Structure 1
Amino acid sequence: MTTPSILSTPVSDVDPFSPGVLEDPLPFQAELRDAGAVVHLSTYDAYAMGRYEQVKAALSDWQTFQSAAGVGLSNFRYEKPWRPPSLLLEADPPHHDAPRAVLSKILGPREIRRLGEAWAADAQSLVEDLLSKGTEFDAVVDLAAAFPLRVFPDAVGIPQAGRENLLPYGDHVFNAFGPHNELVAKGAPRVPELSASIAAQCARGVLAPGGFGAQIWAAADRGDITEAQAPLIVRSLLTAGVDTTVNGLAAVLYAFATNPDQWARLRENPALARTAFDEAVRLESPVQTFFRTTTRDIEVGGTFIPEGKKILMFLGSANRDPRRWENPDAFDLSRDPSGHVGFGFGIHQCVGQHIARMEAATLLEVLARRVTSFNISGPTRRHHNNTLRAWESLPVSIRTA
């Protein structure tokens, strides 16, 4: 990474989607932050932001940094999307307003509180079943993936058939936000099958009464959204509501397994469960990157960015920026992690974050009552994705209360 002169834009020829960077993005992100407020990525002729100040500002300024041209590398001004764009992630006002308002109401803190008792029972059952089989297991497969896949599809109201496609479909969607590399090519053969499966689960007739999906269709009946928008909004829930939570849960479990003192703090004060999840989301940032597109010529941090250019915002880098966070690489439950951009920021901030927090807190509170310690018990493996910071395997051994 080079900075030719004070007046010129720092340039990097590193591919942030290469296997090495996806395996361990932290060294590249540190170089990115040190190089400047904005860095030109020569591989993709795009501009990158790795510092907290600029990332947060760009996320907040939808008028200048638009989402409607796609939140991936593909520019919808010139390229046809491989699927209908998301009405939440890939739309700006006014098209973004009605779908966002409907989901914000359905997924609001008060509305989802009614799920708490049932989810606590599900978490208790899952943990007891797991512990009855022994004290060694894979925290990704047996906890981080198992719990969201147990409770979230039920909350949406989708049928049992086809749920096995949720994670692979989401994995491909998040890969497709990046370049057309080997990760996208690997998922491409299943796209027709997976897309058809997810579309079938968004139809009015298959959704259980009272679930999030049925409530979205009821909003269409009221005229709050159109009938054409309803299945796309349900699809957004299914796309963004599983993989991100799975990887957020894996992140917090890994953080506790490698920071036993913080697990002891949580056991002493289970009310820290939500803080712990947000601190893990800050530290690991399950959603590492999103793109925007400039709607006008703009200067950021002394760098001129022309209209129509892709901007790659490194959320994970911003969340470890020492200009914003003290001791940013530490997992610390005494920290106030609010303000992190792991859920985005501004009008496109994750509408399902309250659901994710409740899922995580529910599971952590049950674990805190039953598990005295976590330890990594074998080789861990990352799962590479162009957008997500994900885990493939996280073997742990535990001690129980």
Structure 2
Amino acid sequence: MTTDNVPILTHDPFDDAVLADPTEFHEALRDAGQVVYLEKYGIWAMGRHAQVHAALQDWQVFQSAAGVGLANFRKEEPWRPPSLLLESDPPHHDAPRHVLANVLSPRALRRLRSLWSQDAEELVAQVLSQSTAFDAAKALAEPFPLRVFPDAVGLPPGGRENLLPYGDHAFNAFGPTNRHVQKGAARVAELGEWVGSRCRRDMLADQGFGAAIWAAADRGEITEQQAPLVVRSLLTAGVDTTVHAISAILHCFATHPDQWQRLRADPSLVRTAFDEAIRLESPVQTFFRTTTQPIRVGSVEIPADEKVLLFLGAANRDPRRWEEPNTFDLSRDPSGHMGFGMGIHQCVGQHVARLEAEAILNALIRRVQHLELNGEPVRHLNNTLHAWASVPVRVELDHEGAQSTGSPTSLVTPAANP
């Protein structure tokens, strides 16, 4: 293999400074070309919207089954059994995807809407009754998904605090074996055993997402061996990403108070707010693919069996696709962002995240007149996720609005490919 006529970057996208703020690196990546070679890791990379979008759609050439991290499963043993959804392709991907899409369908989630709205109302009321200055990441974004999602899956109450460190390690493990991976390695066996045990039929409630997955196995839609791995996919990706999405949304509004006023004036913008925050912050920043054959991208030919790092976060701020891409703007149409991926591997649980974000935002809209930062936010560094460890905010309450009982706006809408 040669890299003649290929733009070569010496940057390390997994350096702490880049993980904390990838803006400058993303600009260099996009400006260098349609595809570049990252010398440090001997891999290819794309950061422009058009090329990332095309690669995500082309699962036949840009394969997920060889792993969506730096490790190539054709050559290396994965640290855990590969995900039946994220790390597989048709035909092996089809049945688990179909089952989970049905379990998490908008119709199924509508039954949870009033329950989750009530839970959000209670949590927000409790937080605001204690202080008008608090850490939005710790007080709202973390506890709410851990409060409602495990219940929906059907997990028993004990040990749910294990979900965040387990998911954090899983997303770190998609990158190189750096200090972030090493940090979680000490507990990976313990956490993996705990999560695996919670995926068994006998550990799950009779009603819930987990039970519905096992019922699909009883109907023969997936095998009994596949069922716990599908439940594990829910537990791995269903908490951390939503926590970081809610933190991102609250940070966006705290740093753009004019957009908070726009949302309060028109609560129907809640869906736009969610997608615009996901576009801007991209809680899931990257995923790898592996080429199954030589593929030409522009003037560059990528050989077969090469790792290609797709920068979703860079694509979501590509000025070739978006005007003023670094701005949070509710007048923008954010559709087309790739914060949930694209194509057959697009996040099947995105409606869950939408519903949870809707519940929190609606509870805040009726109570909070003004929202602003109350200190310096702190990043949580992860090889794959763009996250906040702390988002200190100060709010001004709308005591009259808090008494209103208006019906919240729904984010859960039918979709052909959830």
TM-score (norm 2): 0.94
Which amino acid in the other structure matches residue 378 of structure 1? Answer: G
Which amino acid in the other structure matches residue 297 of structure 1? Answer: P
2:129 is aligned, of 127, 132, 140, to: 132
Instruction: Tell me the equivalent position of 1:364.
Output: 361
Instruction: Tell me the equivalent position of 1:156.
Output: 153
Instruction: Tell me the equivalent position of 2:296.
Output: 299
CA contact (8 A) 1:162 1:198 kept: no
Instruction: Tell me the equivalent position of 1:393.
Output: 390
| CA deviation profile, 1:337-374 (whole Å, cap 9, x unmatched) | 11100000000000000111111011101100000111
Structure 1 gaps, min length 5? none
Instruction: Tell me the equivalent position of 2:269.
Output: 272
Give the number of aligned pairs.
Answer: 396
Instruction: Tell me the equivalent position of 2:27.
Output: 30
Supply the distance in 1 between the matched residues of 2:79 and 2:368 (Cα, whole angstroms).
45
SS of 1:271's partner is helix
The percent of aligned pairs where both chains have the same amino acid is 64
Instruction: Tell me the equivalent position of 2:99.
Output: 102
| CA deviation profile, 1:280-299 (whole Å, cap 9, x unmatched) | 00000000000000000111
Supply the distance in 1 between the matched residues of 2:243 and 2:214 (Cα, whole angstroms).
26
Which amino acid in the other structure matches residue 138 of structure 1? Answer: D
- 1:160-239, aligned counterparts within 5 Å? 160-239=157-236
Shift in Å, 1:151: 0.6
Supply the distance in 1 between the matched residues of 2:159 and 2:304 (Cα, whole angstroms).
42
Which amino acid in the other structure matches residue 20 of structure 1? Answer: A
Instruction: Tell me the equivalent position of 2:258.
Output: 261
1:40 is aligned, of 34, 37, 45, to: 37
CA contact (8 A) 1:251 1:284 kept: yes
Supply the distance in 1 between the matched residues of 2:322 and 2:375 (Cα, whole angstroms).
31
Which amino acid in the other structure matches residue 335 of structure 1? Answer: R
TM-score (norm 1): 0.98
Shift in Å, 1:272: 1.1
Supply the distance in 1 between the matched residues of 2:10 and 2:77 (Cα, whole angstroms).
27
Supply the distance in 1 between the matched residues of 2:365 and 2:356 (Cα, whole angstroms).
14
Supply the distance in 1 between the matched residues of 2:53 and 2:225 (Cα, whole angstroms).
32
Instruction: Tell me the equivalent position of 1:53.
Output: 50
| CA deviation profile, 1:215-273 (whole Å, cap 9, x unmatched) | 00000000000000000000000100111111111111000001011000111111111
| CA deviation profile, 1:133-162 (whole Å, cap 9, x unmatched) | 010110001011111111111111111112
Supply the distance in 1 between the matched residues of 2:293 and 2:251 (Cα, whole angstroms).
42
Supply the distance in 2 between the matched residues of 1:85 and 1:66 (Cα, whole angstroms).
14
2:139 is aligned, of 135, 138, 142, to: 142
Supply the distance in 1 between the matched residues of 2:198 and 2:333 (Cα, whole angstroms).
39
Instruction: Tell me the equivalent position of 1:343.
Output: 340
Structure 2 gaps, min length 5? 399-418
Supply the distance in 2 between the matched residues of 1:106 and 1:374 (Cα, whole angstroms).
36
Supply the distance in 1 between the matched residues of 2:252 and 2:16 (Cα, whole angstroms).
23
Supply the distance in 2 between the matched residues of 1:209 and 1:136 (Cα, whole angstroms).
40
Supply the distance in 2 between the matched residues of 1:378 and 1:341 (Cα, whole angstroms).
30
Supply the distance in 2 between the matched residues of 1:378 and 1:325 (Cα, whole angstroms).
30
Supply the distance in 2 between the matched residues of 1:164 and 1:356 (Cα, whole angstroms).
19
Supply the distance in 2 between the matched residues of 1:22 and 1:101 (Cα, whole angstroms).
34
Which amino acid in the other structure matches residue 98 of structure 2? Answer: A
Instruction: Tell me the equivalent position of 2:352.
Output: 355
Shift in Å, 1:206: 1.2
Moved over 4 A (4+): none
CA contact (8 A) 1:274 1:360 kept: no
Supply the distance in 2 between the matched residues of 1:352 and 1:30 (Cα, whole angstroms).
30
CA contact (8 A) 1:370 1:400 kept: yes
